[in-house]
Structures are given as C-alpha cells and as structure tokens.
Amino acid sequence: MIEVTGLTKRFGSKVAVDDLSFSVNKGEVLGFLGPNGAGKSTTMRMVTGFLPVSAGKIKICGISMTGRPKAAKRKIGYLPESAPLYKDMTVQGFLKFCASLRGLGGSARRQAVEKSIETCFLENVARQSIGTLSKGYRHRTCLAQSLLHDPEVLVLDEPTDGLDPNQKLEVRKLIKNLGKEKAILFSTHILEEVTAACTRAVIVDQGVIVADGTPEQLTKEGGGSLYDLFHKVTTFETPAA
C-alpha cells in the first residue's frame, strides 16, 4: 500500500535521501531504523506529502502522491517527529479540529474523536488544555490525531520517543495491533522495537538502505545480535548538514 521507488531528496548540495526504494503491504509493519540524521524523517515527510521530492515516485494505495496529493493524503495518518500540537486547545477540541479537516462532520466526527481518545488512553485528559499535559500525553494526543479517519496507511515518526517504559510498551502493542489491518511505516532508533512490533525492518544510513529483512533475518545477519548489525552497517557520526 506504500510503494516508494527511487526516492531522492537533496537540500542544496546535500543528499539527505538517496534513491530509496521500499514497499509496505497491508498487514505489514515496516520498521525504519537508522542513526540520527540518516534521512528517516525526510523520507516520511515526502511519503506523507509534506516535502516535495527531488526525484522518485510515491504511491499510496495506488495513488500517486505527486499526481493527486489530496487523494493520497486522505489515505494516510501521520505522526510527525516532534508531535506538534496547538497548545491552546483542549485534547478534544484539537481532535475535533483535525477530524473536521479530514472531512468528518456530525456524528461521524464525534465517534471518530471518541474512538481515538479511547484507543490512545486519553479519557482522563480529554477536556484538559494541551499546554498543561505531560510529554507522554501530548505524544499520544498527536498519535490519536493520526488515527481519526481510520487510515489504511500509518506513518509514525519515532512514535515512542519521550515516553516512559510503560507507555512505550503500550504504544508498541498498539502499533502491532493496528498493523494487522493497515500498512504501517514507523521509524525508531530503538532496536528492541524492531523485534517487539515489526514484521520487517530496513536499516537506513546516510539516505541509503543498508540492510533489509525480517527481524529474525537481520538478527541472524548480525551474528545473533541486532546491535552488532546496526553497528556494522551504519556510520558512527553522520556529518552535520
């Protein structure tokens, strides 16, 4: 459902994403691994239609992101890396706002908001102003936003970043569950998450895929340890832009 071929992004002379190709099918959770600065977020920003591509093709459920961006965007739920929110709104108000922009109205909107509040365990804070929430709740509010329209494709940029261990566990379980029905692309630099939630993983380094396989295959490739593989195939310090 996500098909990416030859995806490239240049910022000036710097190549952030270099001729990347991968695909994610329904029922798959693809882990996007890589050190900081590898180009994970840039890739996701292009897949979700936020950044224009320098070269390459993106198809979401068969719809070209460059050709029909609005139709393609409807199919995607997206959690950006920094989990951005409007801090002056309440959790419920924010979700209602996002649902409206997703084209939902009336009782469909109310149900969508209720459901994603429930899925992300936000009942306790639904009427609270986002500015007063702790980081874990904020992150989950933004995650809830990505689920509102029950999208076929989910793109999650470091969805467990900044959560405490319990919350991390919950979110991983959630991703695994959602992954049965959807195509999920999620990035992380926490290697345990690969075995915990992914059906497949790629390791990206300096904009290029350097390893690709199921968690078992990758572990085997690293001689029994994902860490060793990660260490072997990635550069230690990505030069700053």
Does residue 40 touch ligand ADP according to CB under 6 A?
A: yes
> Least distance from C-beta 65 to other proteins, angstroms?
10
Q: Which of residues 117-176 bind other proteins (CB under 8 A)?
A: 145
E-state strands within the chain: 2-11, 14-24, 29-33, 55-60, 63-64, 76-79, 153-157, 183-188, 200-205, 208-213
Other C-beta atoms within 10 Å of 181: how many? 12
62 binds, among Mg ion, other proteins, ligand ADP, none (CB under 5 to 8 A by kind): none
Q: Assess 84 for contact with other proteins (CB under 8 A).
A: yes
Please state at what angle helix 91-101 crosses helix 106-119, rounded to 10 degrees: 130
List the single partner that 16 binds among other proteins, Mg ion, ligand ADP, none, CB under 5 to 8 Å by kind.
Answer: ligand ADP
Of these, 37, 49, 179, 215, which contacts ligand ADP (CB under 6 A)? 37
Q: Are strands 183-188 and 29-33 parallel, antiparallel or unpaired?
A: parallel
Q: Which of 30, 60, 41 is nearest to 185 (CA)?
A: 30
Is residue 108 part of the contact set for other proteins (CB under 8 A)?
Answer: no
Q: Helices 165-178 & 135-147, crossing angle to 10 degrees?
A: 10
Q: Which of 199, 187, 212 is nearest to 26 (CA)?
A: 199
Q: Which of 20, 41, 91, 200 binds ligand ADP (CB under 6 A)?
A: 41
Q: Are 155 and 48 in contact (CB under 8 A)?
A: yes
Among 51, 61, 208, 209, binds other proteins (CB under 8 A): 51
What's phi and psi for 229, nearest 5 deg?
-65, -50
Q: Which of 39, 151, 179, 222 is in the footprint of ligand ADP by CB under 6 A?
A: 39
52 lies in the site for other proteins, by CB under 8 A:
yes
Interface with other proteins includes 59 (CB under 8 A)?
Answer: no
Choose which of 32, 78, 137, 186 interacts with other proteins (CB under 8 A).
78
Span of 59-67, 77-85, 97-105, 174-182 interacting with Mg ion by CB under 5 A: 77-85
Is residue 90 at the binding interface for Mg ion, with CB under 5 A as the rule?
Answer: no
Residues in the chain: 241
Longest dimension (CA), the chain: 55
Q: For residues 44 and 37, what is the distance between their CA atoms, to the nearest angstrom? A: 13
Applying CB under 5 A, which of residues 41, 43, 145, 234 lies at the interface with Mg ion? 41
Question: Which entry of ligand ADP, other proteins, Mg ion, none binds 55, CB below 5 to 8 A by partner kind?
Answer: none
Residues that bind other proteins (CB under 8 A): 45, 48-52, 69-71, 73-74, 76, 78, 80-82, 84-89, 93, 97-98, 100-103, 145
